[in-house]
Chains A and B, each alone.
Chain A
Amino acid sequence: MTDDTTPMTDGGTDDEARTDGGPPATVPPDDETPTWSERKERSQGLAQLTYQYFERSRREDEDLRAESTYVERDVLGFPTWPHETIRNLAITSFFLGIMLLVASILPGHFGDPANPGSTPAIILPDWYLYWSFGLLKLSPINPELAVLGGNIVMSNELYGLVAHGAIFGVITLVPFLNKGNARRPVEEPGWAALGMTGVVLAITLAVLAIQNFFPVPLELLFSLVFMLPVVAGIITYAVLKTMREGYMYDLNRRYFMLRPPK
């Protein structure tokens, strides 16, 4: 730092008298961006690990690209303009038209003003919250513990909330439980059956929410709410399994037609 050869701005050489702050403390090596390995050497701890990973993943990319047999072609598909754009415009205007049409022929009912003093006989949210409203009517199966003298552990509202949490939790966990490349329901009949169970459960819970409109005894309705989804799941599973057998039969038949057994 206190280098005698470094001239001062006024041409002097006396360091004691230096007032220009001296030469810069750090000198950028050059105007090139440092590579990942250079950055890695300069850093430590978590930053160093990050750079190490960057280097690894870039090398992985390069290896994969070198191994790949993918050939780029000149014309490979659908151009964004005009094909894709026109198609999207057509779909958009069709859908907008449907919405405006429905809005004009079914504008919707407008009820009485709010009256905090009188509870209406039927309280209902919009249709898309029926399933959620049905979950709040599960009080008959809110467990009572004998230890507590037959008292319920959770209030009925909390029980409904917990049911919501469980459903959202299960839905969130799906991608962490089901992995792999399968894309069609026939490839994974179990998961498709689970999905159908969920769909039918949403519908039966919605029916539970509007139970007043169904002249079915509550006990029976309750059983159906949980039986029907399971039945739907079993049927889905059976149908998909059968379809899979059919596909295999077709494949086998084609195979034996090509290569008949001697």
Chain B
Amino acid sequence: MSLKKQDDMDHNAWLKSQDLTAIETAFLTTLIWLDKRLRIVDYLELLETMYYRANLQMPKSHTEQYDLDNKFWYWYPLYSLGSLSIIAYLLAAVSGALLGFYYAPSTAGAAAQGDPTAAYDSMVMIMTDVQFGFMLRAIHRWAAQFMVAAVFLHMLRVYFTGAYKEPREVNWILGVVLIALTLLFGFSGYVLPWKQLSFWAAQIGGELALATPIVGEWAAQLLFGGFTLGQATLVRMYILHVFVLPFVVTALIAVHVGIVWVQGIAEPH
């Protein structure tokens, strides 16, 4: 037995026996070299499977089977509301990340009551000094409005077409949670500019939290940073808006869409 390493699949010999063009030889040599080190072939198989999956022919749908196409397409815009809210959410995320470069969550800088704070000043700076800043803020604001509107209309569509029925109860409940979180998203964003309306909206929110039996004081501390509004409130709303809610809402949206994918769209009869 020789000590020389035996290759049971001599790919190079096979390569030489083939009659290949220069391009083919280069491609195969690279492929073999990479495959020996990284086992690409396995991944190529996966890719191939995914390619065929992406081009899957959908089974004949209810609408096609009963020739409801004209009715269904008439109502189609109502069936795209869920994805519209996701698009608005993504737009708000992108514009919000850009706004985050300039915004400062601080109530410092007000010499007397009613003077502009650092947060307010940073908003004014965004709207007057930053290139494209005025538009950026408008985009963020309107993306939020569109998202909330789309989410509300999406719930109405699901309700009136009975799409929440068995076996889709879990997704309906998830949707209710997502609407509540979207409203909380909007509320926390409303507080951030620390305008007069922001402040008094937060004031009402704080009073509500405090009015809750048993957990009231704890909730007011946790969400609003105390019983009087100030720096702590603003920072908590800021962290809620840019850190906590984005992760939670994104994850829940993924689960929500995942369940729709698994269960299929409830089509109208």
Q: Which of A18-26, A56-64, A170-178, A219-227 contacts B (4 or more CB under 8 A)?
A: A170-178
Q: Which residues on B sit within 8 Å (CB–CB) of A155?
A: 211
B165→A99 contact, CB < 8 A: no
The tally of CB-CB contacts under 8 A between chains A and B is 197
A107 to B258, CA, bound (A): 35
Any chain B CB within 8 A of the CB of A214? no
Residues of A109-167 whose CB lies within 8 A of B = 110-120, 123-129, 132-133, 136, 155, 157-158, 160-161
- Interface on chain B toward A: helix, strand, loop, or mixed SS? helix
Evaluate whether A176 and B169 lie within 8 angstroms (CB atoms) in the complex, with A76-B60, A104-B138, A158-B211 already known. yes
Q: Which residues on A sit within 8 Å (CB–CB) of B116?
A: 113
Residue of A nearest to B205 (CB): A125
Residues of B29-87 whose CB lies within 8 A of A = 54-61, 64, 80, 83-84, 87
- The distance from the CB of B251 to the nearest CB of chain A, in whole angstroms, is 20
Residues of B73-124 whose CB lies within 8 A of A = 80, 83-84, 87-88, 91, 107, 110, 113-117, 120, 123-124
A99→B146 contact, CB < 8 A: yes
Residues of B177-207 whose CB lies within 8 A of A = 180, 183, 186-187, 190, 193-201, 203-204, 207
Interface centre among B61, B135, B142 (most CB of A within 10 A): B142
A128 to B146, CA, bound (A): 10
A175→B169 contact, CB < 8 A: yes
A221 to B61, CA, bound (A): 48
Residue of B nearest to A169 (CB): B176
B149→A128 contact, CB < 8 A: yes
Q: Which residues on B sit within 8 Å (CB–CB) of A199?
A: 156
Evaluate whether A81 and B113 lie within 8 angstroms (CB atoms) in the complex, with A113-B196, A129-B187, A175-B164 already known. no
B61→A77 contact, CB < 8 A: yes
Evaluate whether A76 and B58 lie within 8 angstroms (CB atoms) in the complex, with A108-B141, A174-B159 already known. yes
Q: Which of A75, A103, A116, A175 contacts B135 (CB 8 A)?
A: A103
B152→A128 contact, CB < 8 A: yes
A124→B197 contact, CB < 8 A: yes
Q: Which residues on B sit within 8 Å (CB–CB) of A114?
A: 107, 114, 117, 120, 194-196, 198-199
A75 to B56, CA, bound (A): 10
Q: Which of B161, B166, B176 contacts A179 (CB 8 A)?
A: B166
Any chain B CB within 8 A of the CB of A185? yes
Any chain B CB within 8 A of the CB of A168? yes
A interface, CB within 8 angstroms of B? 72-81, 88, 91-92, 95-96, 99-100, 102-104, 106-108, 110-120, 123-129, 132-133, 136, 155, 157-158, 160-161, 168, 171-172, 174-176, 178-185, 187-188, 191-192, 195, 199
Q: Given contacts A114-B117, A132-B183, A168-B180, could you give 20 more A-B pairs where the C-beta distance is less than 8 Å?
A: A72-B59, A74-B57, A80-B55, A91-B80, A103-B139, A108-B137, A112-B195, A113-B117, A115-B196, A116-B113, A124-B201, A125-B190, A128-B152, A128-B183, A129-B183, A174-B164, A175-B168, A175-B173, A178-B165, A182-B269
Pairs A-B, 9 closest by C-beta atoms? A157-B211, A115-B114, A114-B199, A107-B138, A77-B58, A175-B169, A103-B138, A113-B116, A117-B113
